Copies of this chain bind each other. A is one copy, B any other.
Amino acid sequence: MVAVEQLIFNSIPSGKPIPGETLKKITKEVDLDAPLEEGSVVLKTKCLSWDPYLRGRMRDESKESYVPAFKLGEVIANFGVGEVLQSRNSQFKKGDNLYGSLDFATYQVLPKERADSLVVLENKENLPATLWVGCLGMPGQTAAWALQQVAHVKKGDTVFVTGAMGPVGQVTLGLCHALGARTIASAGSAEKVQYLRDVYKVDCAFNYKTEDAGEVLAKWNKENGPFTVLVDNVAGPQLDAALEHIARGGRIAAIGSIESYNGSAYGIRNVFQVVAKELKWEGFIILNHLTPEVLKKFYDEVPPLVANGSIPVKEAVTKGLDNGESFAALFDSENSNFGKAVISFE
C-alpha cells in the first residue's frame, strides 16, 4: 500500500478559487501492486499543468460549457506527464513517459479508456517533463495554431500578445521572432516586463497595470505603423484598446479571456471597429484541432526551437500538490505566477 496524495474538487467557488476550500488535498491508501484490468496502466506522476481554463470546470454541473464540469468530491484532472510503473496496455511499457489527461494525484491507476487517450513522449531533445504540458503542450500548440492557422503571421507583421509571460505568450513571442514578426507584449509586473525585454527581446513591453494600453499602442503605431495582429489571452480593457488601435484588416486570434473567468466581464465598447477596420476575429480551442498531422507538425517544429533557446521558457514550478494555492495564484493579479504554472513531482 502507498499513501497517495490527491487534489479534490471540494466546493464551487463564486468568484476566485479559494485554497483549501475550492480544492482540497487528501491522502488515500492505494495498492499499486493489485492485479490490473486489461488495458490499464499504473503511473508515477511526474508533472501536472495548471491552466486558467480549469476555473471554468469548477462550476455547477448543470451549467453547460465547452469543457465538462468537475464532479464535486472527486479528484480533478488536467494535462500531465507520468512514468509507467506497470502496464497491461500493449501500447505502453514500464519506464515510458506518457502525456495526456491525468489525475491530480501522486500515483494513479488508469483504466483502459483513459490509458488509450495517452501518448508516449519520444522527447528526442531530452527536455524536462514539465515543458511537455507548457510550451510543448496545449499552450504551445495554441500559440502555434493562433499564429499559423488563424492570424497567418508573416514577416512584416507586428503581433500584440496579452498575458505574455504565460505559456501561450512565451511561445507566441518565440515563434514571432522565428517568423520575423515584431512584438508588443503586456504583463502585470515590472519584473515581468523587464524579463520580456531582456529574455524575449520584445520590441515593446509594458505593464498593463501601470500603463494605459491605448496610449502604449497609439505611441507604437505613430512610430512604427499600426500593429496588425492581436493574440488575446485576456480580453477586458486591453482588448478594447487593441480594437481601437489595430491596423485595418487586422486579425485577432482569441484564445482566452482570463479577465472574465471569475465573473463580471468588462463590456467591450469598440466592437464597431470590427466593421470600420474590416477585422477578422476568430476564436478556437486547440483540443478540437489536434489531429495526428497537426501534432506531428508541432512536435517536429517546436521542440527543437525550445531546445536551441529560440523559444525561451519560464516556469513557475510548485513542488508537489498543495491545497490549490498555486492555482489561485493564476488569478491573483497582485502576486501572480511568473511563467507557466506547473506542479512537479521530481
List residues of A whose CB falls within 8 A of some B CB.
65-66, 235, 239, 248, 254-257, 260, 265-285, 288
User: Closest B-chain residue to A284, C-beta based?
Assistant: B278
Q: Do A235 and B280 have beta carbons less than 8 Å apart?
A: no
A280 surroundings in chain B (CB, below 8 A): 280-282
Q: Do A275 and B284 have beta carbons less than 8 Å apart?
A: yes
Q: Do A257 and B272 have beta carbons less than 8 Å apart?
A: yes
User: Which 4 pairs from chain A and chain B are nearest by CB?
Assistant: A267-B267, A274-B283, A275-B283, A281-B281
Chain A interface main SS type: loop
A277 surroundings in chain B (CB, below 8 A): 66, 283
Q: Do A265 and B269 have beta carbons less than 8 Å apart?
A: yes
The answer, among B254, B272, B273, for a CB contact under 8 Å with A275, is: B254
A282 surroundings in chain B (CB, below 8 A): 274, 278-281
A260 surroundings in chain B (CB, below 8 A): 269, 272
CB distance from A15 to the nearest CB of B (A): 16
A66 surroundings in chain B (CB, below 8 A): 248, 276-277
CB distance from A277 to the nearest CB of B (A): 7
Q: Known interface pairs A265-B269, A267-B266, A267-B269. Does A65 touch B274 (Cβ–Cβ under 8 Å)? A: no
CB distance from A20 to the nearest CB of B (A): 28
User: Closest B-chain residue to A258, C-beta based?
Assistant: B272
CB distance from A339 to the nearest CB of B (A): 22
| Complex alpha-carbon distance, A94 and B5, angstroms | 90
| Complex alpha-carbon distance, A266 and B266, angstroms | 11
| Complex alpha-carbon distance, A266 and B270, angstroms | 9
CB distance from A318 to the nearest CB of B (A): 26
Q: Do A265 and B255 have beta carbons less than 8 Å apart?
A: no
| Complex alpha-carbon distance, A272 and B56, angstroms | 12
The answer, among B65, B254, B273, for a CB contact under 8 Å with A271, is: B254
A272 surroundings in chain B (CB, below 8 A): 235, 257, 260, 265
A267 surroundings in chain B (CB, below 8 A): 266-269
